Amino acid sequence: MKQVSPDTTPKTGPASKERLRLWLRLLGAARQVEAELRERLRTEFDTTLPRFDVMAALSRHEQGLKMSELSGVLRVSNGNVTGIVDRLTEDGLMLRIAVPGDRRASRVRLTQKGQEEFARQAQAHEGWVNELLGGFSVEEAVALSARFDDLKNGPET
C-alpha cells in the first residue's frame, strides 16, 4: 500500500467516495458470506471454518506440512494452528509425524478418514458458495476475479 507523505493530501471527491462505498459493500458482503459458511459448517458438519481451512491446506499437500509451513500457508501464528491440529488429531482426521533430524518439528497430514471427511465438506462448501454467489454470471465471476487478482497483486512496477 502506498504511503502518503505528510505534505500530500489524497485525492477526494465523487470517485473516491464511490470507491469507499465499494470497499464497505465488499467488506460487508464478504463478512455476510463468511458468516453463512461458518453457520453451515457448524450445523451440517459440527465443525468450524478454521478447522475446514486447515484441512483444505493439508488436502493440497499429500505428504503433509511442518507446523511452521502450515502456519505460513494459512497466514496465522503457530499458536493458532496448534490447537486446531490437536483437535483434528484427536478426532482421527490428522496425523503428526516426527521430522527426522529435528526433535522439535513435526509434519502433519490428513488421515484417510480426514481426506474423506474433507472431500464431503469441500463438496458442500463449493455448493454453498455457488448458491450464495449464484447471482453472478460466469462471465461476471471471471471478470471480478481478475480485477481482484489485479488488486491483490498491486500495480506493476
Q: Domains along the chain?
A: 49-150 (1.10.10.10)
Instruction: Collect all residues with Cβ–Cβ distance below 8 Å to 108 and sequence separation of at least 6.
Output: 58, 64, 65, 66, 67, 70, 85, 89, 94, 95, 96, 97
Please calculate the CA angle 36-77-26 and round it to the nearest 5 degrees.
35
Q: CA 89, CA 65: separation in Å to the nearest integer?
A: 14
Query: What's the full length of the chain, in residues?
Result: 157
pTM across the whole model: 0.84
pLDDT in tens, the chain (157 residues): 555 445 445 677 888 999 999 999 999 999 999 999 999 999 999 999 999 999 999 999 989 999 999 999 999 988 889 999 999 999 999 999 988 888 888 899 999 999 999 999 999 999 999 999 999 999 999 999 999 999 888 876 4
